[in-house]
Structures are given as structure tokens and as C-alpha cells.
Amino acid sequence: MSGGALAALLPHGRVLVCLDYDGTISAITADVANARPAAGAREVIARLARDAQRATVAVISGRSVAEVCRLLGIESGILFAGVHGLELMGADGSLEVSEHARAAKPDLERVRRWLNAAVDARDGYLIEDKGVAIAFHYRAAGAEQARALRARLAEFVTREAQSLRIMHGKMVDEIMPKEGGGKADAVRSVLAATGVARINTAYFGDDTTDEDAFHELGPEALTVAVGEVRASCARYRVDGPAEVVRELELLADALAVGRAAGRSR
């Protein structure tokens, strides 16, 4: 991906920049609760938020909106799609929760009780309860033990929580409603909320869950896989969060030049 690809979208109108959080603007870490944004990420996103007429930022994450806001340190001025689109927060801070998430609450409570009884954090597991979904992290657990426990979890969900499904990410199983959710759904919601065309939309993501968004946006959009080389339907790739931040900085710089040129006329 050549530097300045985001800024090259500006002549066509307002730019929509969609960003995954973990692994995209924050490094992957076993300390999930303290995954801070990469150097410069918070500052450049805040810069972009000040020029909402020409650029809109949407953070699309598997985390809850509240958790991403806490980690990023920005609570308004940009869009947030949390829990893979089950939560959507506008730039004004208004939060909407998917009706499918509300309907699945009883089954999610069954899974919550099962996990609390079956999982021991001392074995390297982490249960991340997002309210409308539950993430079961096994990055720090033994491979064989994790495989067996995940199989038991899948069996329980199939048998006892039929309104739910398991979505597989990087060393995490996400238990969430069968209906609604997923990053393709999140992207559709963000596009509808902003009115920006796909041709002027960019999406950066590192996880297997981001592939749904890449596919949804199609070849018109600027889709970018973040991290090591892998099979992906994204058009481009960058090595990690530092390169994502650099692309955002080039966009912010181009916006600043445009403002200065406008004032000088």
C-alpha cells in the first residue's frame, strides 16, 4: 500500500475511515483490559474528528463501545460500532443496541453460568463479558486443554442456547446472537448512518472477523489487512498499527492543507 492512499480519496468527497481496534490501532496483547492505542493513534483520530465535514472515523470492534471509549480516550465526535455491530454509537454519543441482542439475553445468561462453572482463570483463560455477547479468550491456555474446553462450549451452545452462535477470532471464541452482528452488519450500519459511498470508504482490520467487512465493502472500497501476510480479500496490506497511524496522519495533514488553502482564497 502506497503512503497517502487515504488522502487520495479526498477529491471525491467526504472520506469514511473504518478502524478495527485490537491489532489495528492497538497492538495485540494478552492483557486485554489494558490494550492501549498505538503511539499517535488517539491524537490523530482526535484531529480527524475536528474536520467532520470532510472525514468521518468509525471504530468497529468486537469490544463493547464503553470499553473501546475507555481505552481510546475518545467518547464523542466519531462513530463506534461495538460487539461486532450489536452496539452502535453516533458521534453525538447516542447508543443503540440491536433488538437481536435483547432477544438473546436468556440464552446468553445460560452460557454465562456455564462458563463461570467450567472455566478456571488460573488455566490461562479469560472471560470477557460484554453484556450482549461473551468473549472466551484462550491465548494463554494450553492448546490441548483449550481445544477440549472449546468443544464442550460449542456443544453446550448448540444444545442449550439455540439463539446464539460462536464466532471464531484470533485465539477467542465469541458467543453472540445468531441474528444480527458481525462486522459486515456493522459496516452496513455505519454506511447508512454517514451516507458515504463505498468508493470513498476505507477499512483497516487485522482479524478473521474483519474479512466479512472487506467482503461487504467489495473492490470499490480501500480495504487494508493489518499485520502479517495472510489470505485476505482486502486490496492492500500494512505491517501493523504504526503504519495505520501513519496513513491517518497523512490524511489529517492533507485536511489541514485543504483548510489553509480555503482560508487563503
Q: Which CATH number fits the domain that encloses residue 12?
A: 3.40.50.1000
Does residue 1 belong to any structural domain of this protein?
A: no
Active-site pick, 20, 107, 173, 185: 20
Residues 37 and 74 reside in one and the same domain: yes
Strands in the chain per DSSP E: 15-19, 55-60, 79-82, 87-89, 95-97, 126-129, 134-137, 164-169, 172-177, 201-205, 222-226, 236-238
Is the distance from CB of 247 to CB of 240 less than 8 angstroms?
A: no
> In the 8-state DSSP scheme, what is residue 199?
G
Cell numbers representing residue 175 in the block: 458467543
Whether 185 and 94 share a structural domain: yes
Determine the residue type at 163.
S
pTM for the predicted model, two decimal places: 0.85
Choose one of 177, 195, 222: the last residue of a domain.
177
pLDDT in tens, 6-62: 999 999 999 999 999 999 999 988 788 889 999 999 999 999 999 999 999 999 998
CATH number at residue 137: 3.30.70.1020
Q: Same domain for 197 and 93?
A: yes
With bands split at pLDDT 50, 70 and 90, how would you rate the model's confidence at 260?
low
- 107 and 94 in a common domain: no
Mean pLDDT of the chain: 93
Check whether residue 83 and residue 138 sit in a common domain.
no
- 120 labelled catalytic: no
Q: How does pLDDT run across 160-203, given as a tens digit for each residue? A: 999 999 999 889 999 999 988 889 999 999 999 999 999 999 99
Residue 2 in any domain: the answer is no
Domain that holds residue 120: 100-177
Number of domain units in the chain: 2
- Identify the weakest region by mean pLDDT among 33-37, 78-82, 110-114: 33-37
User: How sure is the predictor about 107, in pLDDT bands with cuts at 50, 70 and 90?
Assistant: very high
CB-based contacts of 34: which residues, under 8 Å, 6+ apart?
A: 71
Q: 163 and 151 in one domain?
A: yes
Whether the pLDDT of residue 158 is over 80: the answer is yes
**Under 8 Å between Cβ of 74 and 81:** no
- Residues 113, 238, single domain; the answer is no
Helix orientation angle between 241-264 and 41-49, rounded to the nearest 10 degrees? 30
Judgement on whether residues 90 and 31 belong to the same structural domain of the protein: yes
